[in-house]
Structure 1
Amino acid sequence: MRNALLVDKNIIVTTDNSGGIGEKEQDIVSATDRLTAYYSARVTLLEQWAANAEPFTTLIHNFSGHESWGKYVQGVKDLFQEAGVPCPQISGSTETNMELVQSAVAVTMIGKREEHVSMPDGQWFTYGAPLVGEEVLVHADEVASIRRIKQALDDQMIYRVWPVGSQGILHEMRRLMNDDDLNAESELDLRKTAGPSTVVLVEIPLEKSLAAEKLFGNLLRKIDFK
């Protein structure tokens, strides 16, 4: 697992937050509340998948005011629609006593972990590109597709998916391999933040590599370890 909490053997809790991104005048990055919630939910869902779990409940922690609630809910629904899976029940809370000058939201998912089946080692690739802030909006075509990731998981085209966070691809590879001295080569910047997990690591079985290349296109890049 990556950043997930395991509860009672098979319950997985994951979460992600966003601050200073939204529709308020003093936000650092201007984006719709709907899109902001979508990307926070995206990271949270990828964390569920990294733990081999599927969410059955979503909680939205809204610090942006009552008017943002419906937009945040729709952003979460957009994510599950893109993934092609039913949206789990949504609940949460809104801060209405204090009015913040910047937007803030967190999305938490509770899911059930499936039994892990041991697989032979595959080849690790990156899918997507590391983007942050305005780059996510400008280069949306370089963001790893949730629908394609889900399709690849369902078709056993990939063994595992591992989202990349603010410390970059190399940091996540070292965590994944439990090797702080690991080094790798890629055409991507391995140390750049990936914002809302715009790039992910995927482990692909050798016999599925051609099918994966066809599905993911030129956003799929092999990682060479040194």
Structure 2
Amino acid sequence: MRHELQMGEWVITSDNSAAIGEKPHDVVAASDKITAKFAARVALLEQWAAGSDPEAMLLHNFSGEIQWNRYVEGIHELFAEIGIEAPKIVGSSETNMETMQSGLAVTMLGRRREEINSESLQWFIYGMPLVGKEVLEKREQIADMKKIYEALREGLAAQIWPVGSKGIAKEAEHLFGRKISMADEVDLEVSGGPASCVLIGVRPEQIESLKPHFGQYVFPLEMEAPR
């Protein structure tokens, strides 16, 4: 579920993960590094969606002391792949009680760099909605963070909006205030998991550059007419 708090120029975003990791009772088996990387991915995308960049990061580790360094490594890997420096990470670990399943949360604090005007944009889906094991098995279908970052900085994308567990249709309805429809290429109702896909708002003159930049997993959104 998407959580974001805006306080003046400050933007606070957060994502959590439970029962995903390396513990025997976890529902989804994944490396601790990958688990933290995807939690940080969601929080970072929400920062970009709000027109801000993170300046500080909190890691809440409920898994145990040994997981801390693995989680930090995964977060640093995310930022390294994008080609930007990670903010300093602070936080705490649960060391008093042994937990049966993995759990962590990543919170980012950033300052808004610009106001975003959504008017006159045409919207597209980038990436496929994936959840659970699909995220590990179909990585080529996941929206690439570096490509998103470059598109925002170069002006190809005017705005983005990450898709979470409620799916594309719900996120789009929240963003636009009306329903969307499209062809059969993408399921609009299924979970987008750890923001495996995003909505991208593009100015009309930039549309022809979308496919060359993002590749094959770009699909237009069709809006229902306002009532």
Distance 1:118 1:216 in 2: 22
Q: Give the secondary-structure state (helix, strand or coil) at the position aligned to 1:214.
A: helix
Matched, 1:94 2:79: no
Flag the 1:150–1:13 CA change in 2: closer, same or farther, 3 A: same
CA contact (8 A) 1:152 1:212 kept: no
Q: What is aligned with 1:103?
A: 102
- Counterpart of 1:208, as a letter, is Q
Number of equivalences: 222
Match in the other structure for 2:130: 131
Could you tell me which runs of 5 or more consecutive residues in structure 1 were left unpaired when the two chains were aligned: none
Q: TM-score with structure 1 length normalisation?
A: 0.95
Task: Within 5 Å, give how 1:106-117 maps onto structure 2.
Answer: 106-116=105-115
What's the CA shift string for 1:39-89, capped at 9, x where partnerless?
000000001011101001111000000010000001110111122111111
Aligned partners of 2:60 and 2:141: how far apart in 1?
28
Q: Does the residue aligned with 2:192 lie in a helix, a strand or coil? A: coil
* 8 A contact 2:52–2:114 mirrored in 1: no
**1:210 paired residue among 208, 211, 214:** 208
Aligned to 1:224: 222
Deviation, 1:117, is 5.2
The corresponding residue for 1:163 is 162
Q: Under a length normalisation based on structure 2, what TM-score does the superposition of the two structures give?
A: 0.95
Deviation (angstroms), 1:205 = 1.1
1:50–1:160 contact (8 Å) kept in structure 2: yes
Change (3 A) 1:84 1:137: same
Per the alignment, residue 175 of structure 1 pairs with 174
Paired position in structure 2 for 1:19 = 18
Cα deviation, residue 183, structure 1: 3.2
Give the distance between the partners of 1:51 and 1:4, measured in 2 at CA: 9
